[in-house]
Structure 1
Amino acid sequence: MIRIIALTPAGTKLGERLQVEWPEADLQYKPQPFAEYVQTAFQQGDWLVFICATGIVMRTLAPVLQDKYKDPPVLVLDEAGKFVIPLLSGHEGGANEWGAQVAGRLGAQLVMTTAKPYLNPVYTLGMGCERNCPLEFLESLMLDALAQKGLTPKDIHSLNSIDIKADETNLIVLAEKYNWPFNTYNAEELASMEPLLSTKSDYIFNTVGVYGVAESAALLSSKIAAQNEAGSEPELILNKIKNAKATCALAREFG
C-alpha cells in the first residue's frame, strides 16, 4: 500500500495531487500518534511518501530500519513539490524508479544520492501538422514547447510523428536543423500509448487512426529510446499545444 504523510496544509495539497495519480494511496495529515503510525506502516512493508523535512523521517524510522533488501521504499518531498528524494531502498527497493515516476508526474526534480544513479531522463518531441506545413509554424511551436519546460534543443533526443508524415518536408528540415533523428510510427504502434494521452480527438482518430499524433509519438519514442525494462511508463511533461497548422507535445522516460 502507498501511504502519503503530510505535516502541513501545503503538504496536504501536494499529497492530494499525488492521489490523483495514485488513487489507491492513503493520505494522512499529521497522523497520531505519529511515530507509531509511521513505524507500523514501514514494518508492514507499505511504500511511504513523506512531505516534510528529511530529518523528521530519519529520526522516526531509525528504530525500525533493517537493511536495503528488506526495507520498503521511502520518498521525501518538499511541500512545494519541487524536489523528490528517494531516501531509503533506492536501488533494491525500487525507490529510485518510483521517485522518477513521481517527479515526472509533478514536473519536479529527482534528487538521487545513491553512488551510481542509473536513471537518466530521455526527452522526446512529438509533432503533427497539416500537409506542407511551413517551417516557421513548426519551429516556433517547438521552441515555445521547450521554453515552457525550461529545455533546449540539445536536451531533445528525437523528433517523432506518424508514418504518413514520413515525407513531410519541413518536419525533416526541422530535425536536420537541430541534429535530431526523425522517427515515424504507424497507427497501430502509436495506439499502444492511448491510455497515457491527456486528450483524445475523435476527429484525428477518424482521419489518421490514432487519438493524438503529437502526444502518442512523443510517448512511444521516449519509451523506446530509454529502453527502460523496469516496467515504468513514459510521461507527458507537456500536453499537446498547437498553433494554426501544427501540434506539439513533450514526453520523458527514464532509462
Structure 2
Amino acid sequence: MKHAKFVSFTEVGARTAARAAALLPDFLTERYARTVDPSLSGTSLSRFAQQAMVDCDLIVFVGAAGIAVRAVAPYLAGKAYDPAVIVIDEAGRFVIPVLSGHLGGANELAERLADGLGAQAVVTTATDGRDVFAVDNWARDNGCAVLDPPQIKHVSGALLRGETVGVRSGFPVDGRLPAHISLNADAESGFVIGFDTKAVPFAHTLHLVPRIVYAGIGCRRGMDADKIESAVQEALEAAGVPREAVCGAASIDIKKDEPGLLLFCQTHGLALTTFSAEALRQAAGDFTPSAFVAETVGVDNVCERAAVCAAGGGRLLCRKTARDGVTVALAARDFRVRFDG
C-alpha cells in the first residue's frame, strides 16, 4: 500500500487535512497537525520533510505553497525519485500539485482530491494544460520504468513545439498513435520501449522499460542474500534484461520464509510469490528437469516453473542458471504497447 503524510498548520487546516486524507482509502495516511497536536510543538518541519521525502509516495501540505517549497527544496533527488507533493489551502478551495506531477502521480491525485473536496485543481504542467501526450504519464500508467528522466524534457518540448517525436518498440503496438508520435520518423527526440537500453536511435533518446519480468528462484536453505543477488544479476546479464524490468520474484512455497530470499526481495522492493509443488507441476511449458530436485521438493524444476507461473504463463527469457547453490530463471508476462490515440 502506498504511504501518504499530511501536514497542517492551523485548526482549519487540520480539518481540511482530515477530509482530504479520507479521500485516499488506498493510501496508508498519517496526519500531522502542527498547531493542534501538542506533541508536535517544537518539532522540525525540515526534519519532517526530509524523512517524508524518503519514505512517502505522497506528501500533502495544507497551508501556504511557500512553506511546502521551502520545506522540500533541500531534499529534491530528481524527477524519477521524488514523491508526489501537493499543496491544499487551509480552507480546501484549491489543490495544487507542485512536485512529481506525472511520474509520481501528483496531477492525477490533485484532481481526485479536488473532486472530493469540491475544490479547484490547479495543474500547471504544460502538456496537461495543452492536452499534449505526456510520455512520463504514459510510462507510469503502463508500468514502465524511466531510465533517463532528463530526456523527458526533450520529448515533451518537441511535442509542445508541434514537432514529430519518434518511438521504437520491442513489443507489439496496438491502436492509433498520439498526435506527432511516429514509429518510423527519423526524429531528433524520441523514446524506446523495451529491454535494449543501449539502443540510441535518436539524438535525445528516452528509455522506457516495461516492468514485466519475474525472477524464479530456487536455493539451498540458509542461502545468503548476496549470493541470490549475484545469481539473479548473472541471469539478467545472460538474457539481456535490465534490472528495472524485474517486477517480482517467485519460488516454491517451502521457501516463503527463507531469510536470504526475503532480504533480497525487500532490498529491491519486490513481492515474493510462492507456489505449491502441485501448482508448479501444472505449469505449461518445456522445463529443465532435475531428478534430485523432484525427489527433494516434489517437482522437477522450481525456478523455471515458478517464473512462468508468476508471469501468468508468460514466456521464458532465461532458462535455469545455477550459481553457488542458487538457481534462477526469468519469465515475462505478455505486454503490448497501447496508446489512447
Question: What is the TM-score when the length of structure 1 is the normalising length?
Answer: 0.49
Question: What is the TM-score when the length of structure 2 is the normalising length?
Answer: 0.37
Larger radius of gyration between Structure 1 and Structure 2: 2
Q: Which has the higher helix share?
A: 1
**Greater relative contact order (Cα < 8 A, sep 6+):** 1
